Structure 1
Amino acid sequence: MHAPKESHMEAALRVLKYLKREPGLGILMPSHSNLKLEAYCDSDWAKCPMTRRSLTGYCIKFGGSLISWKTKKQATISKSSAEAEYRAMASTTCEVIWILGLLKDLGVEGLNPVSLRSDNKAALHIVANPIYHERTKHIEIYCHLVREKIQRGIIKTTYIQTKEQPAHIFTKSLGKDQHKYLLSKLGVLNLYNTSSFEGEC
């Protein structure tokens, strides 16, 4: 960061206070789980106040355990929230394809279709409806890889309610209760508090 401001320092201090307050947070990997791959994606349209680029956030769970997550500013400016969400779906799809290849190398197959969950109905409509694409030519061609992977049966898209979307934790500022709720959905538990994961082992 070449010109940090006071707001950046406040954000950094907020993160440090959170880390100090929650030293026991960790990801629990249950000993018994199904071999199911699930992906959640989200975007925050025009989030950056300086560049107006959107944020992409996603998380991928295998057997109910978080195995991959990412937050990244999108490379180009999106003209709509649906476009930003669609770009997030494309990034998530690329990560899912990579993970499927890794699991195949490890001898784990038969995971298709992978459920890709989004809370943006317009983006879900774009991937499901080829006629709708005539009005979305401004979305770059590479983003349409999501539709191709759906047609091949590699992924299937499903709607998830906004309040249930765990990928929000990577793109939005959340209240304390919603933050804790989404952490629990991701399988992030307080390892110092054994009651938070009773029945998981």
Structure 2
Amino acid sequence: MMLRDGFYPLTVTYTILIKILLEDDDIEEALNLLDQASSERNELDTLLFNTILEKACEKEVIEVVEFVVEWMDQEKVQPDPATCHFVFSAYANSGFHSTAMEALQVLSMRMICEEDGSFPEKAEFEDDFIFAEDTEAESRIVQLFKDSEEDLAVALLNLRWCAVLGFPISWSANQSPWARRLSSNYTARKGAT
């Protein structure tokens, strides 16, 4: 009816409609609506994707989590702390702890990534924040929160946590086995529709 009356929904409208569908646990229809928003060239945002990720995490539907995360990457939509939480929790709650850590690392790297896909000076991050052995490393990261750089601070805390737990840090986030598998599965699923 909206389209018939000449009102073309914006991203915020799609987000609300998707939330309504997800209240009824209709994840597939929510994905169809997301696809429609994309095909109408709406600018998809993190909130829209996180809306679906939250429900997929709650229902522990890993294949939807993976599909949505890769869709975000394909659309060049950067994850945020909520994205990391939903993805990490979905894997951890399902017992896939190593995958949860790998996903957390990849998403944290994508949060740090510049809009063109490049990383800022990684040596600075590694030496001052991630691998720093002094007692002030966490304080320097917390200072980023005070400087209104919350996403960067969360990403660095996540990466420091990964490093402290013994997971190797790779600055080639899209080369991780998890990221490559998501890309391959996304291409196969999008090709089937």
Q: Same fold (TM over 0.5)?
A: no
TM-score (norm 2): 0.33
Which of the pair is proportionally richer in helix?
A: 2
Which of the pair is proportionally richer in strand?
A: 1
TM-score (norm 1): 0.33
